[in-house]
Amino acid sequence: MIGKLKGLIDSYGEDFVILDVNGVGYVVHCSTRTLQKLPRVGEASALAIETQVREDSIRLFGFATESERDWFRLLQSVQGVGAKVALAILSILPANDLASAIAMQDKATVSRAPGVGPKLAARIVAELKDKAPAFGAVDPALARLSGEEPEGAPSAARDAISALVNLGYGRPQAAAAVAASLKQLGEAAEASALIRQGLRELAR
């Protein structure tokens, strides 16, 4: 199995690059985000590679970072997510933003990717929620406050999130604001103080 390729950029296609490695041209499918990071034709580049072997084909998928490749693999563990959909998601969301969206149960952000409807987005954030912090720089406090019924969060924080949602803010934005407020005010902060600080965070 191929895990990494290093060579010269030979040419670009709509969703792939041909990488010349010692005279052999490898067709490597990439996300739009990865393709945009690659250098011009004739210049050297290296890609982390995921090799997929099927009965009728062998396909190579390339990534600018190993973190992006890890997410590509993880996304495909969700039923209904194949290589095409996984690349579409990674084309609109860098790894850390994807991790945050899943940690905050932000279905709307994930569903921005082509081919990802509301039901599939809901399944992705639900099935990968517990894995998101391990795959990106997700604030543990934010992960703890995510979801409809955050477990292990102070009751004041839960009340503050509900209050901000009632004021018209989305739950992911409210959770992020309260998480930031908890960092500044401490775990013992009252709901009223968290709401006031949360509104300041949201106004930035």
Across the range 64-79, mean pLDDT stands at 92
Rg (Cα) of the chain, in Å, rounded? Answer: 20
Q: What integer is the mean pLDDT of 116-141? A: 76
Place of tokens 């009751």: 155
As a whole number of angstroms, the distance between CA 109 and CA 74 comes to 18
Give the tokens for residue 63.
Answer: 């990534």
Q: Please name the residues in contact with 95: beta carbons below 8 A apart, sequence gap of 6 or more.
A: 65, 67, 68, 70, 71, 135, 136
pLDDT digits (tens, 9 = 90+) for 76-99: 999 999 999 999 999 998 887 788
Sequence letter at residue 120: L
User: Would the pTM of this model clear 0.75, i.e. be above it?
Assistant: no
